[in-house]
Amino acid sequence: MADPFLLAHQVGPRIFDLSGKLNPISIRDQMVRGRMLIDRAIEANLIGPDEILLVIGAGACGATAAVRAAERDIKTLLIDKNSYVNDEPTPFRLQHQCKTR
């Protein structure tokens, strides 16, 4: 039986969108979502140590997914076209600019 979490976020063959339609969403929930995707994709044999995982988006969800994949010995590439502040690479760009947390 297919994993309902993976099915809910799948937008193509081995392509998942965790950005979600609910905004705002807590940083903790974003991080949980990123970690869950990696763990469940490994369990479903969608990713493994012989492949490279591309994570697009260096926010809380994407960075957490990339770190979790690396912890699980998956070669990972994390990219984000908008993650620069003052010409410096800045993961968690949105959170970096937030003045209330």
Residue 43, Cβ density class (10 Å: 0-12 exposed, 13-18 middle, ≥19 buried)? exposed
Number of domains composing the chain: 1
Which DSSP string do the residues of 19-62 spell out, in sequence order?
A: S-S-SS--HHHHHHHHHHHHHHHHHTTSS-TTSEEEEE--SHHH
Residue recorded with tokens 């140590």: 49
Domain span at residue 59?
A: 4-97
One pLDDT digit (tens) per residue for the chain, 101 residues? 689 999 999 999 999 998 866 666 788 898 999 999 999 999 999 999 999 999 998 888 999 999 999 999 999 999 887 766 677 766 666 666 666 65
Assign residue 26 the CATH number of its domain.
3.40.50
Task: Note the pLDDT of residue 87.
Answer: 73
Task: Note the pLDDT of residue 37.
Answer: 96
